Amino acid sequence: MTPTPTRTPTRTPARRRAATAALTAALLVPLAACGDDDAKPAAEAQGAHLTVLAASSLTDAFKAAGAAYEKAHPGTRITFSFAGSQELAAQVKQGAPADALVTADTRTMDGLKAETGDATVIAKNRLVIAAGKGNPFRIDELGDLADPGIKVVLAAPEVPVGRYGRQILDARKIEVKPVSQEPNVRAVLAKVELGEADAGLVYKTDSAKSGDKVATVEIPDAQNAVASYPAAALKQSRHGEAAAAFVAWLSGPQAQKILQDAGFQKA
């Protein structure tokens, strides 16, 4: 008797569909994982809360820049901490929680290379003499600040604007004995605005913001100093991608227009 051959059972259409679905799902899992990795930096940049340490002279311009950045990047929040560059450097070295840094000089930024990414100069500034309202002492040049009858206030020498001020005074051998040395440019300006000093050396952008509270006396370029403002993301940032994106944006057309409208010069 011839044995009956063994037949391989035929898969039903339902079983074939189930097998195909399982295979497709297995193939899609790695692709989905790759997609999530690629989207992570973009999601981080769109949903981060950044803390930016910035030089005092950037206060007004950066408030406008921060609002513009948040509008263009929904979900991102920017909080600024303004102070003298030397104070900001101390905060960074002490490990203060922050994501980016903008100083009013390259010297301070260069001293933080171990803590920052690559720095980019985003703007420049110049010094002016801020005299009391109406300029009652008729100050019209740097040499007038040597008059012992004029109360002059300067920023401390470790502050960028204070160092620039000493630099231009020393270059012309002008001896000035300040009645006080302040921790940042805004403090110098406030002394003049309040009448506690007759004159001070400040940035052009700060004096312009005071309107008629002070009289602005221009300093010729040949006697002046140029302040450069470098910006960099901090290595300690918990939002590295977002911090780098903000720093890059500061060199773009929108941020540059805001800075130049505030009186800063193009980098």
Burial class from Cβ neighbours inside 10 Å (0-12, 13-18, 19+) for residue 151 reads: buried
CA distance 202 to 67: 26
Do 187 and 255 reside in the same domain of the chain? no
Check residue 47 and give its pLDDT: 73
Do 201 and 70 reside in the same domain of the chain? no
Check residue 46 and give its pLDDT: 57
Check residue 13 and give its pLDDT: 47
Query: Mean pLDDT across the stretch 239-253?
Result: 97
Q: Where are the alpha helices (DSSP H) in 76-171?
A: 85-93, 106-110, 160-171
Indicate whether 20 pLDDT > 70: no
Cβ–Cβ < 8 Å for 130, 75: no
CA distance 172 to 151: 19
Do 141 and 233 reside in the same domain of the chain? no
Asked, for residue 102, whether it belongs to a domain, the answer is: yes
Indicate whether 35 pLDDT > 70: no
What pTM value is reported for the model? 0.81
Indicate whether 136 pLDDT > 80: yes
Do 63 and 182 reside in the same domain of the chain? no
pLDDT tens, residue by residue, 41-52: 444 445 799 999
Do 73 and 151 reside in the same domain of the chain? no
Do 54 and 105 reside in the same domain of the chain? yes
Do 110 and 239 reside in the same domain of the chain? yes
Asked, for residue 30, whether it belongs to a domain, the answer is: no
Do 93 and 147 reside in the same domain of the chain? no
Asked, for residue 209, whether it belongs to a domain, the answer is: yes
Do 231 and 220 reside in the same domain of the chain? no
Asked, for residue 9, whether it belongs to a domain, the answer is: no
Do 87 and 134 reside in the same domain of the chain? no
Which domain CATH number covers 55? 3.40.190.10
CA distance 84 to 243: 21
pLDDT tens, residue by residue, 169-199: 999 999 999 999 999 999 999 999 999 999 9
Asked, for residue 17, whether it belongs to a domain, the answer is: no
Asked, for residue 11, whether it belongs to a domain, the answer is: no
Q: Which domain holds residue 109?
A: 45-124+227-261
Do 239 and 186 reside in the same domain of the chain? no
Q: How many domains does the chain have?
A: 2
Indicate whether 7 pLDDT > 50: no
Check residue 55 and give its pLDDT: 97
pLDDT tens, residue by residue, 58-112: 999 999 999 999 999 999 999 999 999 999 999 999 999 999 999 999 999 999 9
Do 66 and 190 reside in the same domain of the chain? no
Amino acid at 132: G
